[in-house]
């Protein structure tokens, strides 16, 4: 950048020196020319020869003797002349051999000398520059030749400056003209062909510009400084941006004038290190404050030396690597994290180089298999680690995986320090860019425990978790095998369906934990009694057994033994628990061709046995099958009964107990469902309600019954109560609260007139849910009564848990009043109990006047039964509800 014209300058100064030398010789040349003896090959000025002649003639006239002196003078002069001549010749030839043109003008403005280069430069000949031509004429002539474009003023004005004048010639060359005035009033002009230099300098400056713009646009900070004074001479844009100082602010200053003392000190230290570094550069990393942030800079300092090898410039390149450092830290962390993961996965992982079979990587879990630390294992091969037999096997499997180039998974036992374990080994080949196997990744997973779990699960799939007996699926399989074995022979066998009596009560009274223990003990006793025969748990309290031998005797004998085995009390947690069994039996081949039929028929026999009496044994009879089929048909018919209008409601009056029927005032009616089957005629609710409950039809049916009863009651002129039975199934499956609420709104029946009769089944199925629903129902303003009290478990806890409005004493107790003394006591106790809980008591099934008077005497609040009125269409009770029965025909359902 600096001194780019120094070469041109030095040539100029040489030319100037010669010109001055020529100028100092000029007076002599003048004198020489006057003597007429000087004819230089180049024309040097226009000296007057008359002067010489005057001197010679004057000399002859004045004194001849002076002639000798004159001769001496002449000869002396000649000597001077010759030496002048030699000198002039030397000067002119020197001037002519300059690489630049020279023109000399005398004080009178005449051209006294121009050298050949001058003429050549401008395409002139000697003849073009005649004697006596003035400098102005010479310029004019050049203008006319087209080799000068400047005016005289411009020419002299510019050429006289130290920079000189550059004239462009038509052929593209450039000439640098410099003009000097001499002390004697003359002048000298030099003309230097600077075409090449101009080209070079133009090139240099465009290169410099280019480099500067490159430097300006690189994202790295670049600054240069003079080493001598430490001042910046250059800073690129990135540097400006980073330092937040403009270039103008930076250039010409030292670091300490720009930056904070700490930063400046760091810079100076790094600069010094670079200057003294023998390799000529210095890399380092340092931190600088930049605003509120601390930045990390990676710097590289390069020293530029001059031709003498002395450090002249320092170029500093640096980059803000703060973000890169944190990124690389993150990468490093991520790598460490991955290593940690690989090392800690519970699967053994080994990476092997395909080329030589050497282990490159192994994780912590692999140490068990490798029998050494993972560090020790790397670099070894299978042959180094395992015994020859094992190694051979491993290498063979490795090779198979490599050949396959995909995934190879297999399970095999490996002996480890923890004994023989089952491993699942996966081999995966990693290919290089050329598609050749490069690495083999092997994972060994200890699946010993998993396989054990799997077999446990398989066991669980066919076994009951509580008793560990085979379950229903396993029992059906066993049955199928048995059938297969006996089919076509005269072998027969029996299927026993055994129901455990009283489990519900045990659960209820002692809790489920005790119930579970009872089941486990029952299972043990059943197995013991079956003596190796098949025993399975089919459902909660139902067991299945298979017994071969002559039937039905063998089956009946086993059933009897089972009854005996379970007749003994159980001692569980110090409590005496008593259970019993009811058994149904079916026989192969007479009672069914396949496992499902045999089991279903044993179940049907059990169902019958339970209906008959608990604790009995019942053999399947074909008509039972018929009954079951009947049930199925009935179910189908029931599903269309509502739609076909076959359902209706009968109403049975309820009365406040009086001593006699006459004094018993009717307070309401219980609605009871009736089904008139198109073929079978009347079907008892005791038959179709359980079918409706089992199938879920009860939800739809219950809705119809409730709506019909409410609609009916709402139409009565006398606002008597209406009681509607709700099935536990309606609580389990339907939105009973919403239903009651919307029907009340829909029919306009006042909630206080509706009574819902529920059985304890509602609370047995799901106590919490049942209780919650009852509370919400009660919140609607309806009354809730506990139906059939005394028939089931009659747990007092239910009465305690929910404030029933009414308790209905089961018909069974009322029937026995006057027959057994206990009944009277029970009825009395229930009445007292209910009153103690502020619940009113209703007695069902009152058929006799004695029963009525007893109940009235004992303080029973209400009565219901044939004595007061049988269930009948409401038309029969029209006067009671305030209707004239002649006006209002009996209502049918619809």
Q: How far is the CB of 855 from ligand C2E (least distance, A)?
A: 12
Main-chain phi, psi angles of 337, to 5 degrees = -60, -45
Main-chain phi, psi angles of 102, to 5 degrees = -130, 135
User: Is there binding between residue 654 and ligand C2E (CB under 6 A)?
Assistant: no
**Dihedral angle computed from the Cα positions of residues 789, 792, 795 and 796, in that order, rounded to the nearest 10 degrees:** 20
Closest C-alpha among 582, 461, 548, 467 to residue 515: 467
Residues within the interface to Ca ion (CB under 5 A): 725, 757, 787-788, 844
Interface pick for ligand C2E out of 115, 727, 785, 823 (rule CB under 6 A): 727
Q: Which partner from the list ligand C2E, Ca ion, none does 672 bind, CB cut-off 5 to 8 Å by kind?
A: ligand C2E
- Pairwise CA distance, residues 400 & 890, whole Å: 91
Q: How far is the CB of 827 from ligand C2E (least distance, A)?
A: 15
Residue 225 near residue 231 (C-beta atoms within 8 A): yes
- Pairwise CA distance, residues 75 & 85, whole Å: 14
Minimum CB distance to ligand C2E smaller for 412 or for 680: 680
**Strand ranges, E, within 99-213:** 100-105, 111-114, 165-168, 174-181, 187-193
**Which residue in this structure is represented by tokens 């510019």?**
158
Interface with ligand C2E: number of residues (CB under 6 A)? 21
User: Is there binding between residue 22 and ligand C2E (CB under 6 A)?
Assistant: no
- Pairwise CA distance, residues 47 & 266, whole Å: 75
First to last CA, the chain: 115
- And the tokens for 640? 């269309």
Helices (H), 748-848: 761-765, 767-779, 796-801, 811-815, 821-836
Minimum CB distance to ligand C2E smaller for 367 or for 760: 760
Q: Which partner from the list ligand C2E, Ca ion, none does 727 bind, CB cut-off 5 to 8 Å by kind?
A: ligand C2E
Minimum CB distance to ligand C2E smaller for 507 or for 851: 851
User: Is there binding between residue 685 and ligand C2E (CB under 6 A)?
Assistant: yes
Q: How far is the CB of 731 from ligand C2E (least distance, A)?
A: 11
Per-residue contact flags (x/-) with ligand C2E for residues 283 to 322, judged by CB under 6 A:
----------------------------------------
Minimum CB distance to ligand C2E smaller for 297 or for 756: 756
Q: How far is the CB of 771 from ligand C2E (least distance, A)?
A: 19
Span of 321-329, 792-800, 829-837, 844-852 interacting with ligand C2E by CB under 6 A: 844-852
Q: How far is the CB of 851 from ligand C2E (least distance, A)?
A: 9
**Which residue in this structure is represented by tokens 């209406």?**
722
Residue 727 DSSP SS3 = coil
Minimum CB distance to Ca ion smaller for 601 or for 851: 851
User: Is there binding between residue 865 and ligand C2E (CB under 6 A)?
Assistant: yes
User: Is there binding between residue 357 and ligand C2E (CB under 6 A)?
Assistant: no
Q: Which partner from the list ligand C2E, Ca ion, none does 753 bind, CB cut-off 5 to 8 Å by kind?
A: none
Q: Which partner from the list Ca ion, ligand C2E, none does 865 bind, CB cut-off 5 to 8 Å by kind?
A: ligand C2E
Minimum CB distance to ligand C2E smaller for 195 or for 893: 893
Q: How far is the CB of 725 from Ca ion (least distance, A)?
A: 5
Minimum CB distance to ligand C2E smaller for 617 or for 705: 705
Interface pick for ligand C2E out of 190, 363, 652, 657 (rule CB under 6 A): 652
- And the tokens for 188? 């000298």
Residue 241 DSSP SS3 = helix
Q: Residue 365 to residues 346, 370, 416, 445, 609: CA-CA distances in angstroms? A: 6, 9, 12, 9, 62
Assign 3-class secondary structure to 177-236.
Answer: EEEEECCCCCEEEEEEECHHHHHHHHHHHHHHHHHHHHHHHCCCEEEEEECCCCCEEEEC
- Pairwise CA distance, residues 363 & 359, whole Å: 11
User: Is there binding between residue 243 and ligand C2E (CB under 6 A)?
Assistant: no
Q: Which partner from the list ligand C2E, Ca ion, none does 652 bind, CB cut-off 5 to 8 Å by kind?
A: ligand C2E
Span of 26-34, 134-142, 190-198, 685-693 interacting with ligand C2E by CB under 6 A: 685-693
- Pairwise CA distance, residues 745 & 738, whole Å: 11
Minimum CB distance to ligand C2E smaller for 81 or for 727: 727
Interface pick for ligand C2E out of 101, 770, 834, 845 (rule CB under 6 A): 845
Residue 188 near residue 19 (C-beta atoms within 8 A): yes
User: Is there binding between residue 725 and ligand C2E (CB under 6 A)?
Assistant: yes
Q: How far is the CB of 824 from ligand C2E (least distance, A)?
A: 18
**DSSP states of 335-365 as a string?**
HHHHHHHHHHSSSEEEEEETTT--EEEE-TT
**Strand ranges, E, within 793-893:** 806-809, 840-843, 862-864
Interface pick for ligand C2E out of 489, 684, 800, 886 (rule CB under 6 A): 684
Per-residue contact flags (x/-) with ligand C2E for residues 728 to 767, judged by CB under 6 A:
----------------------------------------
Q: How far is the CB of 811 from ligand C2E (least distance, A)?
A: 6
Closest C-alpha among 409, 387, 388 to residue 400: 409
Q: Which partner from the list Ca ion, ligand C2E, none does 871 bind, CB cut-off 5 to 8 Å by kind?
A: ligand C2E
Minimum CB distance to ligand C2E smaller for 552 or for 845: 845
- Pairwise CA distance, residues 695 & 690, whole Å: 9
Q: Residues in the chain, how many? A: 894
**Strand ranges, E, within 481-624:** 493-501, 534-539, 542-548, 570-572, 575-577, 580-588, 617-619
User: Is there binding between residue 866 and ligand C2E (CB under 6 A)?
Assistant: yes
Interface pick for ligand C2E out of 255, 314, 672, 773 (rule CB under 6 A): 672
Minimum CB distance to Ca ion smaller for 582 or for 864: 864
Interface pick for ligand C2E out of 316, 482, 522, 705 (rule CB under 6 A): 705
Interface pick for ligand C2E out of 105, 787, 831, 854 (rule CB under 6 A): 787
User: Is there binding between residue 847 and ligand C2E (CB under 6 A)?
Assistant: yes
Minimum CB distance to Ca ion smaller for 703 or for 757: 757
**Which residue in this structure is represented by tokens 């040539």?**
11
Whether the link from the prior residue into 718 is cis, omega within 30° of 0, is no
Interface pick for ligand C2E out of 673, 736, 817, 855 (rule CB under 6 A): 673
- Pairwise CA distance, residues 407 & 233, whole Å: 65
Partners of residue 728 on adjacent β-strands: none
Q: Residue 152 to residues 114, 148, 157, 231, 820: CA-CA distances in angstroms? A: 18, 10, 8, 45, 160
Span of 255-263, 440-448, 466-474, 845-853 interacting with ligand C2E by CB under 6 A: 845-853
Q: How far is the CB of 514 from ligand C2E (least distance, A)?
A: 31
**DSSP states of 446-514 as a string?**
E-HHHHHHHHHHHHHHTB-TTT--B-HHHHHHHHHHHHHHHTTSS--EEEEEEEEETHHHHHHHH-HHH
CA 437 to chain centre: 32
Span of 176-184, 282-290, 671-679, 731-739 interacting with ligand C2E by CB under 6 A: 671-679
Q: How far is the CB of 766 from Ca ion (least distance, A)?
A: 21
Nearest 5°: the CA angle 788, 790, 795 is 105
Residue 138 near residue 103 (C-beta atoms within 8 A): yes
Sign of the CA dihedral 277, 279, 280, 281?
A: negative
Q: Which partner from the list Ca ion, ligand C2E, none does 586 bind, CB cut-off 5 to 8 Å by kind?
A: none
Interface pick for ligand C2E out of 499, 755, 788, 861 (rule CB under 6 A): 788
Q: How far is the CB of 809 from ligand C2E (least distance, A)?
A: 11
Q: What's the DSSP call for residue 134?
A: B
Q: How far is the CB of 684 from ligand C2E (least distance, A)?
A: 5
Q: Which partner from the list Ca ion, ligand C2E, none does 476 bind, CB cut-off 5 to 8 Å by kind?
A: none
Provide the binding-site residues for ligand C2E, judged by CB under 6 A.
652, 671-673, 684-686, 689, 705, 725, 727, 787-788, 811, 844-847, 865-866, 871
């Amino acid at each position: 950048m600096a001194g780019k014209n120094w070469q041109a300058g030095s040539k100029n100064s040489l030319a100037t020196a010669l010109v001055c030398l020529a100028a100092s010789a000029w007076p002599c040349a003048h004198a020489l020319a006057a003597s007429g003896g000087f004819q230089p090959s180049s024309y040097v000025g226009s000296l007057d020869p008359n002067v010489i002649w005057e001197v010679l003639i004057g000399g002859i006239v004045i004194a001849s003797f002076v002639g000798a002196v004159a001769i001496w003078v002449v000869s002396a002069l000649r000597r001077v002349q010759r030496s002048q001549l030699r000198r002039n010749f030397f000067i002119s030839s020197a001037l002519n051999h300059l690489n630049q043109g020279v023109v000399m003008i005398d004080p009178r403005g005449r051209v006294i000398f121009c050298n050949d280069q001058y003429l050549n430069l401008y395409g002139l000949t000697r003849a073009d520059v005649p004697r006596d031509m003035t400098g102005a004429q010479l310029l004019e002539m050049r203008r006319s030749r087209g080799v000068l474009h400047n005016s005289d003023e411009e020419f002299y004005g510019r050429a006289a400056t130290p920079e000189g004048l550059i004239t462009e010639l038509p052929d593209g060359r450039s000439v640098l003209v410099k003009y000097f005035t001499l002390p004697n009033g003359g002048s000298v002009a030099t003309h230097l062909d600077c075409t090449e230099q101009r080209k070079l300098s133009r090139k240099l400056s465009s290169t410099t510009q280019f480099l500067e713009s490159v430097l300006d646009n690189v994202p790295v900070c670049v600054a240069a400084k003079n080493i001598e004074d430490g001042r910046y001479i250059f800073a690129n844009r990135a540097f400006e941006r980073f330092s937040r100082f403009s270039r103008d602010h930076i250039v010409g200053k030292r670091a300490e004038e720009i930056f904070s003392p700490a930063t400046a000190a760091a810079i100076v230290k790094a600069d010094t290190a670079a200057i003294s570094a023998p390799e000529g550069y210095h890399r380092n990393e340092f931190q600088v404050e930049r605003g509120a942030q601390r930045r990390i800079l990676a710097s590289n300092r390069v020293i530029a030396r001059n031709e003498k090898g002395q450090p002249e410039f320092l170029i500093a390149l640096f980059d803000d690597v703060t973000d890169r450092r944190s990124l690389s830290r993150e990468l490093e962390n991520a790598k460490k994290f991955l290593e940690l993961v690989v090392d800690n996965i519970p699967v053994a992982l080994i990476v092997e180089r395909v080329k030589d079979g050497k282990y490159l990587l192994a994780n912590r879990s692999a140490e068990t298999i490798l029998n050494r630390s993972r560090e020790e294992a790397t670099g070894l091969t299978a042959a180094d680690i395992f015994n020859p037999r094992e190694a051979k096997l491993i290498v063979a499997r490795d090779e198979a995986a490599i050949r396959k180039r995909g995934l190879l998974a297999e399970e095999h036992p490996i002996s480890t320090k923890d004994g023989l374990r089952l491993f699942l080994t996966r081999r995966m080949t990693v290919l290089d860019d050329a598609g050749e196997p490069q690495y083999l990744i092997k994972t060994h997973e200890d699946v010993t425990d998993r396989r054990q779990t799997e077999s446990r699960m398989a066991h669980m799939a066919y076994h009951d978790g509580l008793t560990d007996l085979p379950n229903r699926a396993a029992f059906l399989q066993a049955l199928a095998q048995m059938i297969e074995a006996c089919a076509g022979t005269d072998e027969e066998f029996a299927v026993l369906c055994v129901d455990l009596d009283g489990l519900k009560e045990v659960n209820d009274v002692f809790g489920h934990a005790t119930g579970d223990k009872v089941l486990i003990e029952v299972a043990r006793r059943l197995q013991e009694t079956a003596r190796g025969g098949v025993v399975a748990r089919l459902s909660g309290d139902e067991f299945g057994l298979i017994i071969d031998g002559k039937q039905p005797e063998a089956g009946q004998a086993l059933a009897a033994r089972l009854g005996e085995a379970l007749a003994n009390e159980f001692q569980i947690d110090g409590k005496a628990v008593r259970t019993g069994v009811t058994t149904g039996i079916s026989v192969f081949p007479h009672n069914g061709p396949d496992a499902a039929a045999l089991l279903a028929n044993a179940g049907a026999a059990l169902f019958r046995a339970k209906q008959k009496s608990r604790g009995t044994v019942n053999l399947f009879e074909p008509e039972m099958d018929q009954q079951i089929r009947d049930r199925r048909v009935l179910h189908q018919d029931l599903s269309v009964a509502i739609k076909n209008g076959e359902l209706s409601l009968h109403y049975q009056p309820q009365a406040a107990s009086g001593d006699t029927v006459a004094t018993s005032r009717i307070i309401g009616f219980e609605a009871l469902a009736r089904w008139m089957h198109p073929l079978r005629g009347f079907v008892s609710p005791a038959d179709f309600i359980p079918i409706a409950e089992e199938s879920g039809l009860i939800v739809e049916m219950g809705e119809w019954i409730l709506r019909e009863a409410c609609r009916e009651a709402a139409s009565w002129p006398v606002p008597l109560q209406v009681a509607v039975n709700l099935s536990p199934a309606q609580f389990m499956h339907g939105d009973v609260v919403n239903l009651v609420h919307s029907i009340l709104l829909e029919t306009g029946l006042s909630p206080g007139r509706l009574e819902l009769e529920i059985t304890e089944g509602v609370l047995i199925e799901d106590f919490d849910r049942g209780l919650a629903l009852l509370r919400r129902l009660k919140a609607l303003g309806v009354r809730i009564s506990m139906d059939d009290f005394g028939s089931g478990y009659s747990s007092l806890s239910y009465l305690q848990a929910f404030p029933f409005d009414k308790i209905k004493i089961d018909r069974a107790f009322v029937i026995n009043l006057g027959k057994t003394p206990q009944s009277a006591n029970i009825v009395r106790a229930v009445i007292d109990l209910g009153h103690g809980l502020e619940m009113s008591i209703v007695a069902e099934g009152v058929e006799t006047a004695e029963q009525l008077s007893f109940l009235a005497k004992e303080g029973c609040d209400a009565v219901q039964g044939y004595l007061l009125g049988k269930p009948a269409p409401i038309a029969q009770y029209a006067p009671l509800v305030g209707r004239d029965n002649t006006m209002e025909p009996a209502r049918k359902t619809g």
